[in-house]
Structure 1
Amino acid sequence: MDEVQNTTERIVLFLDENDERAWKVATITDQLDLDTDAVSAILSRLKERELVHHKASYWTITDDEERLQAAYRLHRHHKNADGQYGEERLEEIQTEDMEEIS
């Protein structure tokens, strides 16, 4: 992939591409050369969104393909909107309805 990936993307792609096993935070951190606290925080957020599973000290990607594909689509949509309008411009044009459903 030629575009720069953010930390969350890197973690999700790593877990998705290596879904045959579960991973400890320290191993994910080492494999991706990331900060341990950042990886832990991101995994916790992904767990809240039911995109990863956590058991003992191990993490895996969800086996719910529909949920994962929906998250990928939503992420691409947001990335495209940020690229087209810029984050500041999106905040300016945000409507009250958009604020209610965010």
Structure 2
Amino acid sequence: MAIDIDQFDERSPEELAELSNPEQVLKFLYKNRDRAWKAREIANRTGINENSIHSVLSRLEERELVRHKGPYWAITDETSRLRQAYDTHRVTQLFDGLYGEEDRDEWIQASEQANE
């Protein structure tokens, strides 16, 4: 997806970093919180592959960040839940930047060793 050259010139590299699929969906649904959308429409408007959109939406629903009724999807009406998820995400990004990303396999191995 292309951006305006003024955005390119004015924004920092961090601001121009691509959002993950779940972040894109949440941002889109939040900006359009007065409506509910079909998965295909969300995929088209966010640029997410239609083959991926249902798994993204399902994971967000499991975390209670989106609502689902019939073929329609909408952002949760629990703004405190969204704020908590956003804050957790930002802190994780900060720590990853400071200390490096966590290795999931190392965590699993450490957990298994602790349980022995």
- Which TM-score band (shorter chain)? 0.7 to 0.9
Equivalent in the alignment of 1:91: 103
Larger Rg belongs to? 2
Instruction: State TM-score, norm by structure 2.
Output: 0.73
Work out the percentage of aligned pairs sharing the same amino acid.
38
Pairing partner for 1:53 from 64, 67, 73: 67
User: What is the match of residue 8 of structure 2?
Assistant: none
Bigger mean CA deviation after superposition, 18-27 or 77-86: 77-86
1:3 Cα deviation from its structure 2 partner: 3.4
- Provide, for residues 21-76 of structure 1, a one-character-per-residue CA deviation record: whole Å limited to 9, x for no partner: 00011101111111112111011001011110000000000000111100000111
**Residue 16, structure 1, aligned to residue 30, structure 2:** yes
d(CA) in 1 for partners of 2:45, 2:58: 19
Which residue is equivalent to 1:3? 16
Which sections of structure 2, spanning at least 5 residues, go unmatched? Answer: 1-10
Gaps of 5+ in 1: none
Show structure 1 runs of 4+ deviating over 4 A.
92-96
Does residue 83 of structure 2 align to residue 74 of structure 1? no
| 1:83 counterpart SS class | helix
Give the whole-Å Cα distance in 1 for the aligned partners of 2:51 and 2:92. 25
RMSD between superposed Cα atoms in Å: 2.4
* Residue 57 of structure 2, aligned match among 43, 63, 86: 43
